[in-house]
Chain A
């Protein structure tokens, strides 16, 4: 596999110019995630009203995969209900942990499909899933720090 299939232009773009890289005003939920192996760490902030993500942002540092995944995650969950965020987490997680030799099931994932190449790099899967574990913890109001180890 060529590295360009892993580092697709969308990923490189979101790494360089992460969207929603901020603390939203009136955020009412947050969670910290860290990947002790890589030193990736981020905090995801949500403003949840009536069970819907009204605003979302993140702060932190990490590799291109984790940063781009966090950025694309914020775009994907904005305006969604918490149940939809959970369902999206499941789909994304299933994609990343699926057999890399099978064709990827990217149904309903939209832009998030760019991460299917990460399946071929088992040690990097955690980089892509960390923002999703963290947003799920924030959505559930779990106070603990999410760890991928």
Chain B
């Protein structure tokens, strides 16, 4: 069940470098993951030997590029356990996927007096698009609370569902705290109330096995760059009948069946939502990242993170004046913490000097930080390449912070 981390580390060229003159300890994978050689090579080899625009060319090269792009879509389908590759829409990232649904579905289905339910721990990308959609429709944004541990209690969420709720949009895993939300239960409750469910899987897909059918959600979104893939590509998965009923989002080439000045008809899904030349190489790179992860095995990846998280949690708990923020019972590899008398940005700067890369700030979750009564936290987050050594270096660097600020 365990990952061979030493072997995995060799797959990531960047881990060989130093930062501030010290061997790099990269603990910011929740912000963006590093890229394995397989992804870097897939992208350069695509540009070197298979590149052309897709769908239009009548020549072999374009056919090859189109086939590789299509294959990437099938890989995403497999990763998510989706029934049909046509349900996978390529976008820029999770943010764009949520905006697509909020704009397209929102414009056609959201009416005055309707409600959209989210939770307090959402990333800004799962808050602001819904605020925009609600504002446009005269609908109301309702927020289910989190508790002190960083869990979303189901009864409190259920109490906020009503016949007015049209959409429930929740994170699968909290980016700031690592809490895993009971998405299948939430989806069942939402459906009983007649609402649809969108799951922001940006933090979950790199860390947990995901099966959209088992979760029972209607939309699932993620970013490629957090999944060890390139920046600039992400995915929206949506149930076929929903995507088919939704109006196009952006207009342009590739998303049409026929264009006349009197009337334009639109392409079938997913192309209806993919106006313009997409990030073709990005999709190919994402496909390589999915192959890489599925070869490791998502059960093993999840197990590795659980073990490391337990190790890191214990290590940090031993540091005087340190408090771990987010102690959900179901949690993935995120260690958010605060130190008595030291601002998280000062922690980040000193850790940087020690070669340790973490994130400090509100993690694009200001309402959550406000609920927890914090301006910011320091956050170390894990990836497949992290080891107990990395966490030992983290703990030593935190002790250095305490020494400087003593």
Residue numbers of A with Cβ under 8 A of B are 1-4, 6-7, 12, 16, 37-39, 41, 61-65, 67, 121, 124, 127
Contacts and interface: CB of A to CB of B under 8 A. Distances in A.
Given A38-B376, A39-B362, A61-B375, A121 B349 contact: yes
A4 B344 CA distance: 17
A6 B349 contact: yes
Assign chain B's interface to a size class.
10 to 19
A63 B404 contact: no
B404 A3 contact: yes
Contacts of B405: 7, 12, 64
B347 to A, nearest CB: 9
Given A7-B404, A12-B404, A65 B346 contact: yes
B342 interface: yes
25 contacts: A2-B353, A3-B349, A3-B350, A3-B353, A3-B400, A6-B349, A7-B346, A12-B405, A16-B341, A38-B360, A39-B361, A39-B375, A39-B376, A41-B375, A61-B375, A62-B343, A63-B343, A63-B346, A64-B342, A65-B345, A65-B346, A67-B343, A121-B349, A124-B345, A124-B349
Given A3-B349, A6-B349, A124-B349, A37 B343 contact: no
Interface of B: 341-346, 349-350, 353, 360-362, 369, 375-376, 400, 404-405
A12 B341 CA distance: 11
Contacts of B346: 7, 63-65
B349 A38 contact: no
Counting chain A CB atoms within 10 Å of each CB, the highest count among B346, B360, B362, B369 belongs to: B346
Given A39-B361, A39-B375, A63 B345 contact: yes
Contacts, number: 45
Given A3-B404, A39-B361, 9 more contacts: A3-B349, A3-B353, A6-B349, A7-B346, A12-B404, A38-B376, A63-B343, A64-B342, A124-B345
B378 to A, nearest CB: 11
A37 B361 contact: yes
Counting chain B CB atoms within 10 Å of each CB, the highest count among A2, A4, A62, A67 belongs to: A62
Nearest to A1: B353
Contacts of A121: 349
A126 to B, nearest CB: 10
A130 to B, nearest CB: 12
A121 B346 CA distance: 11
Contacts of B344: 63
Counting chain B CB atoms within 10 Å of each CB, the highest count among A12, A61, A64, A121 belongs to: A64
B406 to A, nearest CB: 9
A16 B369 CA distance: 24
Nearest to A62: B343
